[in-house]
Structure 1
Amino acid sequence: MERLATFSIEREENVYKLCQDVSSRHSGEINKCFVVFVSNPSRTVPLWRQRSGKDEDRLVIWDYHVIFLYHPEPEKCLVYDLDSELPFPTYVHKYVTETFRTDHILKPDYFRYFRVIPANEFLKEFASDRRHMKRPDGTWIKPPPNYPAIQTATNTHNLEDYIQMDSSKGPGQVLSLTQFVQRFYKPAT
């Protein structure tokens, strides 16, 4: 598979802003929300049904991807993916089936891993000085958002902690595709 895209510009910031919106407008729901970073050790993450995909399957290979989950009850989980051509939001089973498909058709280097972080924790801990949005010469790949970079009192940049998929390091919990599905998809009985 050819790498079609190498930078996930602003995805984490868009999801951060979505978390902020839920926290301010629906504060009781933020505890039912999660931020999910999707990546792997080789930073080659195939996703189908993405707007920037060129072929009929809309396949893109990202270095990482970020989505927002709303999981209000065991049988209901919605995925908010700002880059997907699927409905916004989409039920987790449909999203997984159409976006991740299965690992059985992939070489191990392309297996997707999922770092799941409670949204309220992400709001408190995430920081990005946007260095990953710049070229080696320091110029912007594309203009940054018009609001200040996301910082905490103790950190200016910890994006790599979220992207790397070593389960012994970083925030939240790292899951395989099967574990992710088992955690967020509970068919109604």
Structure 2
Amino acid sequence: MFISNDKKQIPLWHQKASHRADGVILWDYHVICVQIKRDDKSPQVWDLDSTLAFPSPLASYIAETFRPSFQLFSEFQRFYRIVHGPILLRHFASDRRHMKDSDGNWTAQPPSYDPIVAEDGAVHTLNEYMEIHGADAVPCVEPTLMDTVRMERLGAVLSENQIEEFFSMLS
């Protein structure tokens, strides 16, 4: 799940990179994995940047990290691109260009593993996944949305109030 918005400013709480006691930080985008096991009805969130339990139950992760009861200004509203894992693994690529400044210097230490190359040889599709606009959000969660997420390369964009409903349909 990719999280962002039109302004590329999304607040998330309980993040390791924060310098505040409540762990809040503004990310331009964020990526988490939501796992649903066939034998377990409780989706789990894997967030490498979170100070919460690893993994965390989806409901508690949403409550603690997104804080839906906290009223956000419209420019900070989060939207979520949901992509099925096998589809993402075939099409996602990142050569880490987003981690370099205009002179080509690293802005952060890159991961130790090799850059990710898509099945078709593409070297950078990250921008397509993190480009998330509120206008792209589906109007409602319905059963056909599952097909979109499972088959479309870029999945589907949901608004914050649709996340739990969507995952409850899967589990």
The alignment's TM-score, normalised by the length of structure 2, stands at: 0.81
Once the two structures are overlaid, the 10-residue window that deviates more, 110-119 or 99-108, is 99-108
Query: How far 1:104 moved relative to its partner?
Result: 5.5
1:57 aligns with 2:57: no
Q: Return 5+ residue gaps in structure 2 as ranges.
A: 138-151
The alignment's TM-score, normalised by the length of structure 1, stands at: 0.74
Q: Distance in 1 between matches of 2:33 and 2:61?
A: 12
Among 68, 82, 103, the residue aligned to 1:137: 103
User: Which residue in 2 is equivalent to 1:174?
Assistant: 157
Q: Distance in 2 between matches of 1:124 and 1:170?
A: 9
SS of 2:43's partner is strand
Once the two structures are overlaid, the 10-residue window that deviates more, 118-127 or 152-161, is 152-161
Q: How do residues 114-125 of structure 1 correspond to structure 2 at under 5 angstroms?
A: 114-125=80-91
Q: Distance in 1 between matches of 2:165 and 2:2?
A: 17
Q: Distance in 1 between matches of 2:75 and 2:96?
A: 27
User: Which residue in 2 is equivalent to 1:101?
Assistant: 67
Q: In 1, are the aligned partners of 2:83 and 2:153 still within 8 Å (CA)? A: no
Q: Return 5+ residue gaps in structure 1 as ranges.
A: 1-35
How many matched pairs? Answer: 152
Among 49, 58, 64, the residue aligned to 1:83: 49
Find runs of 4+ consecutive structure 1 residues off by over 4 angstroms: none
Q: How do residues 156-171 of structure 1 correspond to structure 2 at under 5 angstroms?
A: 156-166=123-133, 167=136, 171=154
Taking a change above 3 Å as real, the CA distance of residues 149 and 61 of structure 1, as seen in their structure-2 partners, is same
User: Which residue in 2 is equivalent to 1:22?
Assistant: none
